Amino acid sequence: MRPGLWPGKSSKTGNPVPSRDADFIRHPSKRCPWPGIEDAAYARYHDEEWGVPHADSRRLFEKLVLEGFQAGLSWLTILKKRDAFQRAFHDFDAERIARYGAKDIERLMNDAGIVRNRLKIEATIDNARAFLALSEHTSLATFLWSQMENGPIVNRHARMADVPPMTKDSKRISKALMKEGFRFVGPTTFYAFMQSVGMVNDHLVSCPRHKPCAKLQRDFKCP
């Protein structure tokens, strides 16, 4: 994982949100020592969302898009803008985004609430079209989770330095996504996505979220 560029997403995902462990209340310093974890929104994301597996294709699409926007920036920047992203991109309705034209691109380029990067905006439109093309024969959730032959991976890292920036799996699935027409889904970006959606569990073993997320992963039924 890139120092200072930890992955993640919103509290408005529709995902199952586990309650915070009492251990966090007593010992908040035991969380994974991410840069910026002291921020309340970032801590909440770590405690409630990061590493929790789910199979909601629309929210997986949202996370894939936001990971692409995060490239070169801190995740905290994206996290703080997530509500604005959801409004600007019509709650990541792929059918609507796929119809965006020049006026929508200019609207987004003038929206100070989001990251105004034309290449990433145009890639989001292309990704929405790729999402719809993929949906003609399978869902994004099924496509992604089918790549995990043995289900979610539960790692047991003791230090942040042990967490890789990418893996063989992230390279393989990134390549599969690009073959389907997705953009801004390189292996490093995609590994951050995998961590975010619980395809891998990269909470440190000392973190109180490691064990609960591992259980959620073991119980998760891949679509």
Active site residues: 45, 67, 75
Chain-centroid distance, C-alpha 25: 25
Amino acid at 173: I
**108 three-class SS:** helix
What does the alpha-carbon distance between residue 209 and residue 213 come to, in Å, rounded to a whole number?
6
**119 three-class SS:** helix
What does the alpha-carbon distance between residue 223 and residue 199 come to, in Å, rounded to a whole number?
13
User: Of 178, 184, 171, 210, which Cα lies nearest the Cα of 70?
Assistant: 184
